[in-house]
Amino acid sequence: MTSKKPIIEVALDVGFVNTSHFTKEFRRTYGTTPAEIRDSAARNREAPGETAHPR
């Protein structure tokens, strides 16, 4: 799932009262932080009009 919501908003939506606890539990469960997931997704996103096939 992807979202442009701030991480605090996501944390509150799923029942956490602060980002610190959310991030700690997220890292414990998934082995990475929400911010690292977002950064990785942004780096891996293709620019519009690009194809995945080399010429």
For residue 40, being part of any structural domain is answered with yes
**Tens digits of pLDDT across the chain (55 residues):** 667 899 999 999 999 999 999 999 999 999 999 999 988 888 888 655 555 556 5
For residue 26, being part of any structural domain is answered with yes
pLDDT score recorded for residue 42: 83
For residue 14, being part of any structural domain is answered with yes
DSSP string spanning 1-55?
A: ----S-HHHHHHHTT-SSHHHHHHHHHHHHSS-HHHHHHHHHHHSPPTT--SS--
Burial tier of 40 (Cβ tally within 10 Å: 0-12, 13-18, 19+):
exposed
Orientation of helix 19-30 relative to helix 34-44, angle to 10°: 70
Q: What pTM value is reported for the model?
A: 0.70
Domain limits at 27?
A: 7-45
For residue 50, being part of any structural domain is answered with no
Structural domain count, the chain = 1
pLDDT score recorded for residue 43: 86
For residue 30, being part of any structural domain is answered with yes
For residue 55, being part of any structural domain is answered with no
